Amino acid sequence: MSLQLLKSDIESKHFRRIYYICGDEPYLKHYYYNELKKALFSGETDHPDCVIKNASELELSEFIDAVSSFPIFAERKAVILKDLSLSGEIAEWLLKHIKEIEENNVIIIYQISESADSRLSIFKLFKKAVSDYGLWVDIGPLDQQTLFKWVCQQFRKHGKTIDPQTVSYFISSTSTDMYSLSNEIMKLSFYCNVNITVEDIDKITSKTIDAKTYELTNAVFDKNSEKVFSVLKTLSDMRTNEIMIMASIYSSVTTLYKTKLLFESGLSPSEIELELGQKGFVVNKNLAKLKTISFDTLEKIIDICTETDIISKTTSVDYTELLSELIMSIIELI
């Protein structure tokens, strides 16, 4: 709701006394911070009536002078504080004097890395004060559907086409972090033809460790030994711990078991997607894989994974060799 209000303020150019921009999605925080700043000064990003300071480097007296002075070249003045500590002098002063700030002055608190404990009374007091006289905007990650639409939009902006399944594959293979996704979209747009394919994504993008371990599990269940050892080499180059890889294989196998159980009980792929919190692309791929794998086989694989986990924690063993044995045991069972 608060983000919608911020968008409305930007579009209408009706601004509040104070804005507090925080949250867990850096890309969106930076985007809306920039949009607000541009809206304040008719598109200009560097304006003499815009004061930008790191809060930790600003004396209270300097801050008071900045918010007490009037704009010279524009209708309003903006004072932007980056990473304000709520336990500092400036936050304390704002609590007492926020209602006295001139209406043609706008304060923007932009929390890049500073975070505050929402359980503390100072947090609650400050949030209430900002909400009473301005807008508190907590920007979190996009939901899957909105992120999907955003990715499609970004590819279109670069003059590229990409089908829905490939978009899902792209997100699951790279990251849900929007900065990372934006960088990978730029790479694909620069190097690829008009239509982006799965092969392009495999060839060009930097995949996350989770994506690579998922790729490894797929290769194991496809009995593709060449692909298995290729992915293992990549994971080794990424300095991925063997214990982490074994844990990921175990997690993937238990997910396959749950998927089969839910499907056999009558749930549709979309219902399984909601139940397990997985992307539709992954659920459909897993269901296709499970057509030839019985519950009995999955249970045996889970037993092997459990035994391997116990060995890794209770004995002195070569983890690389243990991982190889685990993979070969699974391939033999499928």
State the average pLDDT over residues 265-274: 90
First to last CA, the chain: 50
Q: How does residue 271 score in pLDDT terms, banded at 50, 70 and 90?
A: very high
The first and second tokens of residue 168, run together, are: 């899902």
The first and second tokens of residue 211, run together, are: 């994506």
Name the residue type at position 85: S
Percent of the chain at pLDDT > 90 equals 56
Contacts of 130 (CB under 8 A, 6+ apart): 18, 19, 20, 98, 109, 136
Read off the pLDDT of residues 180-218 as tens digits, 9 standing for 90 and up. 899 899 999 999 999 999 999 988 887 777 777 878 888
What's the CATH fold of domain 2-138? Answer: Rossmann fold (3.40.50)
CB-based contact 154:189 (threshold 8 Å)? no
The first and second tokens of residue 185, run together, are: 């979209």
The residues spanned by each domain of the chain are 2-138, 148-333
Predicted confidence (pLDDT) at residue 231 exceeds the cutoff of 90: no
- The angle subtended at Cα 39 by Cα 20 and Cα 85, nearest 5°, is 20
Name the residue type at position 249: I
Weakest mean pLDDT among 6-15, 41-50, 53-62, 239-248: 41-50
Q: How far is CA 286 from CA 130, 252, 314, 330, in A?
A: 48, 10, 32, 16
The Cα–Cα gap between 300 and 322 comes to: 17
Predicted confidence (pLDDT) at residue 288 exceeds the cutoff of 80: yes
* pLDDT score recorded for residue 227: 86
Beta bridge partners of 54: 82
Tokens 């690389």 belong to 320
CB atoms within 10 A of CB 30: 16
Q: Which of 148-162, 235-249, 313-327 has the highest mean pLDDT?
A: 148-162
Reference 228, options 247, 207, 244, 249; nearest CA is: 249
* pLDDT score recorded for residue 167: 93
Percent of the chain at pLDDT > 70 equals 100
Predicted confidence (pLDDT) at residue 55 exceeds the cutoff of 90: yes
The Cα–Cα gap between 85 and 328 comes to: 54
The first and second tokens of residue 313, run together, are: 């924690």
The Cα–Cα gap between 329 and 334 comes to: 9
Residue 211: what are its φ and ψ, rounded to 5°?
A: -65, -40
What's the CATH fold of domain 148-333? Answer: Zinc Finger, Delta Prime; domain 3 (1.20.272)
The Cα–Cα gap between 43 and 33 comes to: 13
Beta bridge partners of 107: 18, 79
Average pLDDT, the chain: 90
CB-based contact 182:27 (threshold 8 Å)? yes
Same topology, domains 2-138 and 148-333? Answer is no
Q: Which DSSP symbol is given to 38?
A: H
- pTM for the whole structure: 0.69
Q: How does residue 69 score in pLDDT terms, banded at 50, 70 and 90?
A: confident
* pLDDT score recorded for residue 280: 75
Helix (H, G, I), strand (E, B) or coil at 79: strand
The first and second tokens of residue 210, run together, are: 């989770």
Tokens 């002075």 belong to 69
Read off the pLDDT of residues 115-145 as tens digits, 9 standing for 90 and up. 888 888 999 999 999 999 999 999 998 888 8
Predicted confidence (pLDDT) at residue 169 exceeds the cutoff of 90: no
